């Protein structure tokens, strides 16, 4: 804060010096003369040969078309003290004459830096927010901030003070000589802040959807369909939003929130107005009370000029590590045997089933056994031998078998095998163990082995 004050004092006290100089120097020849022009806006299609009034700005229409109303000239000496300053209309009458220039004050010999900056009619310049002021401060406020930060004001003949419509140069004053400086070229103000209906659709700047959704009034705005492909627990086919206790999804595009949508595994489609170009979708899972339950997942995409998004589907997965709270839930499953030569399933209670020895083993996502294996209603899930009927009247054919204690998810796979009386393998899913899901009872189906041994199954 002290530095800021000092910078203003420096600006204002040198302003006093300036007044003295101008008063005593009115008889003397001016030390320098400047002329400026407004450059065409970047990225716009330009005619091959610019009109003569654009080339050298000999006509006020250039100012009217660009939205620049006034131009301020600021001159600093080698110690960044203000040496001269004045404001002119964007198009001074002298500019009608080719090469005509605006003259500055008489300055003591030495080296100087001159900045030329365009402003709106109200004196506000174009540039990034200054602190909390985002309406464009005065040129002086940008200069004071740069001086406060000890920034050089002009680097490689480019303004280094944050102003958009600005050009600068260094020059040397010699006694009794007029330095006619090379023309200054001011970049056109941003087209969404120039007060002009650039694409002539009747909507100016922030009222134009091109500015609301893109970077320019002329940005095409389309209504693309977005296909969000949601999966959970690293694409676990047996898990859904309920498994993670997710009710809805908070959706935003480029940080602008859209309506919430129901959380459903699979593809959800919705449309929203978007500009052609790059965007980012962000998705956060919410629990039943609307509280955030997951981290935010993001997916980049492009809207092409046909209004189609690329990639075609935006894939989002909520894995266990994306949950704000770890998932602790019982492991639930139902054990089934696929009937040979059929798509039907049955259970160990079926009289046709000759298998007598059943083994159930809980694995991690890499297929390694969980150690120690959790205890369940049918015994430890460690692959030890179990018969169809278990003590206490329980059977392996129960509609839902669960662990006795909640487990921390991750991902769990269940391996289920059935052996005949002679120890021969009859049914197995060991080559593709079934992924389980929290809050779900997942059917785990063991398939008959090829060339089913006699005794496994009798019609
Ligand atoms: Ca505009
Ligand atoms: Ca417009």
The reported pLDDT for the residue numbered 220 is 86
Cα separation, 356 vs 389, whole angstroms: 10
Q: How far apart are CA 141 and CA 132, in angstroms?
A: 13
Top-confidence residue, 394 or 19: 394
CA atoms of 21 and 8, how far apart (whole Å):
20
Burial of 408 (0-12, 13-18, 19+ CB in 10 A): exposed
**pLDDT (0 to 100) of residue 53:** 60
200 CA from centroid of ligand 1 (Å): 9
Residue 22 has pLDDT above 50, yes or no: no
DSSP for 132-175, written as a single string: TB-S--BHHHHHHHHHHTT--SEETTEE-SS-SSEEEEEEEE-T
What percent of the chain clears pLDDT 70, i.e. is strictly above it? 91
**What is the spatial distance between Cα 309 and Cα 272, in angstroms, rounded to a whole number?**
12
Q: Residue 43 Cα, ligand 2 centroid: separation in angstroms?
A: 17
Q: Which residue has the higher pLDDT, 359 or 130?
A: 359
Query: Residue 49: which pLDDT band, with cuts at 50, 70 and 90?
Result: low
Residue from 234, 327, 328, 246 nearest 292 by CA: 246
Average pLDDT rounded to a whole number, residues 445-453:
96
Distance CA 183, CA 35 (A): 5
Residue 220 structure tokens = 């095409």
Place of tokens 């082995």: 449
Higher pLDDT, 271 or 27: 271
Q: Which of 291, 347, 306, 317 is nearest to 411 (CA)?
A: 317
pTM for the whole structure = 0.61
- Specify burial of residue 348 (Cβ count, 10 A radius: 0-12, 13-18, 19+): buried
Is residue 413's pLDDT more than 90? yes
**Phi, psi dihedrals of residue 443, rounded to the nearest 5°:** -75, 125
Residue 27: predicted pLDDT: 55
Mean pLDDT score across all residues of the chain: 89
User: How much is the pLDDT for 13?
Assistant: 41
How far does the centroid of ligand 2 lie from the alpha carbon of residue 305, in Å?
19
pLDDT value of position 48:
52
Which ligand minimizes its atom distance to the CA of 202?
Answer: 2
Contact 143, 202 (CB under 8 A): no
Distance 107 CA to ligand 1 centre (A): 39
For residues 120-140, average pLDDT: 88
Q: According to DSSP H, which parts of 111-265 are helical?
A: 139-148, 209-213
Pairwise CA distance, residues 389 & 379, whole Å = 12
What's the mean pLDDT in 9-20?
43
Distance 456 CA to ligand 1 centre (A): 80
pLDDT tens per residue, range 337-347: 999 999 999 99
pLDDT of residue 215: 82
Q: What spacing in Å lies between the alpha carbon of 399 and ligand 1's midpoint?
A: 67
Q: What are the beta bridge partners of residue 118? A: 71
Is the pLDDT score of 14 beyond 60? no
First to last CA, the chain: 92
Distance CA 424, CA 413 (A): 23
Lowest mean pLDDT among 55-69, 169-183, 246-260: 55-69
The Å distance, Cα 259 to ligand 2 centre, comes to 27
For residue 52, pLDDT beyond 80: no
Find where tokens 């204690």 sit.
405
CA of 63 to the centre of ligand 1 (A): 14
Q: DSSP for 131-144?
A: TTB-S--BHHHHHH
- CA distances to 280, 331, 333, 434 from 443, in Å: 38, 12, 6, 8
Topology, domain 327-448:
Immunoglobulin-like (2.60.40)
Q: Which residues contact 168 (CB under 8 A, 6 or more apart)?
A: 113, 114, 115, 116, 153, 154, 157, 158, 159, 160, 184
User: Residue 279: is its pLDDT beyond 50?
Assistant: yes
CATH hierarchy code of domain 2-186: 2.60.40
- The 10s digit of each residue's pLDDT in 34-43 is 999 998 775 5
Q: Which part of the chain is CATH 2.60.40.10?
A: 221-322
CATH architecture group of domain 221-322: Sandwich (2.60)
In eight-state DSSP terms, residue 322 is: G
According to the model, what pLDDT value does residue 2 have?
37
pLDDT at 454 over 60: yes
User: How much is the pLDDT for 12?
Assistant: 47
Instruction: Choose among 196, 179, 187, 183: nearest CA to 117.
Output: 187
HSE-up (13 A, CA, CB side) for residue 347:
13
Query: CA-to-CA distance for 145 and 151, rounded, in angstroms?
Result: 9
- What's the CA-to-centroid distance between 303 and ligand 2, angstroms? 21
Judged by its nearest atom, the ligand closest to the C-alpha of residue 216 is 1
Band of residue 50 on the pLDDT scale cut at 50, 70, 90? low
CA distance 133 to 140: 14
Spatial separation of the C-alpha atoms in residues 331 and 22, rounded to whole Å:
88
Q: Per-residue pLDDT tens for 353-398?
A: 999 999 999 999 889 999 999 999 899 999 999 999 887 778 899 9
Give the tokens for residue 193.
Answer: 């802040």
Contact 180, 33 (CB under 8 A): yes
pLDDT surpasses 80 at 290:
yes
State the virtual CA torsion across 81, 109, 115, 90 in degrees, nearest 10.
120
- Of 398, 330, 329, nearest in space to 358 by CA: 398
Angle at 276 between CA 275 and CA 282, to 5 degrees: 65
């Amino acid at each position: 804060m002290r530095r800021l004050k000092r910078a203003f004092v420096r600006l204002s006290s040198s302003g006093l010096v300036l007044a003295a100089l101008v008063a005593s120097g009115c008889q003397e020849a001016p030390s320098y003369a400047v002329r400026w022009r407004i450059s065409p806006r970047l990225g716009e299609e330009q005619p091959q040969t610019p009109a003569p009034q654009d080339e050298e700005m000999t006509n006020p229409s250039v100012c009217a078309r660009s939205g620049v109303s006034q131009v301020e000239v600021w001159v600093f000496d080698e110690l960044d003290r203000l040496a001269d300053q004045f404001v002119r209309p964007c198009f001074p009458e002298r500019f009608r004459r080719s090469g005509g220039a605006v003259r500055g004050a008489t300055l003591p010999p030495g080296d100087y830096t001159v900045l030329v900056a365009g402003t709106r009619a109200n004196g506000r310049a174009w540039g990034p927010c200054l602190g909390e002021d985002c309406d464009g401060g005065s040129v002086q406020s940008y200069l004071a901030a740069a001086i406060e930060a000890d920034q050089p004001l002009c680097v490689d003949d480019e303004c280094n003070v944050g102003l958009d419509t600005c050009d600068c140069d260094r020059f040397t004053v010699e006694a009794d000589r007029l330095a006619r400086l090379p023309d200054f070229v001011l970049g056109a103000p941003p087209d969404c802040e120039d007060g002009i209906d650039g694409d002539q659709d009747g909507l100016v700047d922030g009222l134009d959807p091109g500015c609301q959704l893109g970077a320019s009034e002329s940005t095409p705005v389309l209504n693309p369909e977005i296909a969000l492909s949601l999966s959970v627990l690293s694409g676990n086919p047996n898990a859904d939003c309920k498994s993670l206790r997710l009710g809805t999804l908070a959706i935003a595009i480029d940080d602008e929130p859209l309506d919430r949508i129901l959380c459903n595994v699979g593809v959800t489609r919705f449309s929203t107005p978007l500009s052609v170009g790059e965007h980012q979708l962000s998705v956060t899972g919410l629990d039943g009370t609307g509280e955030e339950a997951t981290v935010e997942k993001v997916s980049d995409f492009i809207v092409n000029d046909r209004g189609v998004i690329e990639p075609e589907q935006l894939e989002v997965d909520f894995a266990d590590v994306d949950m704000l709270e770890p998932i602790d839930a019982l492991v639930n499953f139902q054990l089934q045997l696929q009937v040979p030569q059929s798509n039907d399933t049955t259970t160990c209670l079926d009289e046709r089933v000759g298998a007598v020895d059943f083994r159930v083993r809980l694995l991690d996502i890499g297929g390694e056994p969980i150690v120690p294996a959790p205890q369940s209603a049918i015994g430890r899930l460690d692959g030890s031998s179990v018969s169809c009927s278990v003590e206490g009247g329980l059977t392996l054919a129960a509609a839902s078998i669960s662990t006795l204690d909640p487990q921390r998810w991750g991902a769990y796979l269940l391996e289920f095998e059935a052996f005949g009386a002679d120890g021969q393998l009859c049914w197995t899913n060991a080559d593709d163990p079934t992924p389980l899901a929290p809050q779900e009872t997942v059917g785990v189906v063991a398939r008959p082995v090829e060339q089913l041994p006699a005794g496994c199954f009798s019609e």
